[in-house]
Amino acid sequence: MSQRETIVYVIRHAHAGQRAASGRDIYRPLSDRGIREASALAEGLVSAQIDTIMSSPATRCVQTVQHLAADRGLPVVEVENLWEDSLPNEMLAVIEACAVEENIAVCSHGNLIPEIIEMLSARHKIEVTGRGCEKGSVWELRRSDGQWVAARYVGTFNS
């Protein structure tokens, strides 16, 4: 019986403009630097097999994966449980539900991504390679037959 491997690319949104003193942070867009980072991200993942692209509803997250989605002819599916105010367990549940049969890319926030990596390490004793969570960076999570087996910090694709 062959093993079914899936990959999850967990992406931290690219650089965004300054947080406003008032107003809803959910609408904060990428900065010019962030737009360049998002483009580099799409180029860096050009050969990655990705079946579904999900994002926090935050504008900066959606914009980070728009090029990636357009290159593949895929929609960006906005998921509330990827928003920065979500609990790590909520985010992990979304990822686990979708990564059963598909390779997915998920764009979220810097407060959640390290928590997800820590949870996978503690719960599943997976091999974790690298460390970080820079804006515009990627973690590659691997599953084999529904079990988490490894997490690798890819970093950014900026030159």
**What tens digit of pLDDT does each residue of 81-140 get?**
999 999 999 999 999 998 888 999 999 999 999 999 999 999 999 999 999 999 999 999
DSSP state, residue 13: -
pLDDT surpassing 90 at residue 153: yes
Looking at residue 3, what is its pLDDT? Answer: 67
Average pLDDT for the chain: 93
User: What is the DSSP track for 80-100?
Assistant: GGGSTTS-HHHHHHHHHHHTT
Residue 75 contacts residue 69 (beta carbons within 8 Å):
yes
CA of residue 81 relative to chain centroid, distance: 13
Looking at residue 60, what is its pLDDT? Answer: 97
| CA–CA dist 33, 115 (Å, integer) | 26
Scan for tokens 């737009």, then name that residue: 35
Structurally, the chain folds into a number of domains equal to: 1
Share of the chain above pLDDT 70, in %: 95
pLDDT surpassing 80 at residue 23: no
**Tokens representing residue 82 in the block:** 């990827």
**Which domain range does residue 127 map to?**
5-155
User: Average pLDDT, stretch 68-85?
Assistant: 97
What confidence category does residue 1 fall into, taking pLDDT thresholds of 50, 70 and 90?
Answer: very low
Looking at residue 159, what is its pLDDT? Answer: 61
What confidence category does residue 48 fall into, taking pLDDT thresholds of 50, 70 and 90?
Answer: very high
Share of the chain above pLDDT 90, in %: 86
User: What is the DSSP track for 122-152?
Assistant: HHH--EEE-----TT-EEEEEEETTEEEEEE
pLDDT surpassing 90 at residue 19: no
The CATH number covering residue 70 comes to 3.40.50.1240
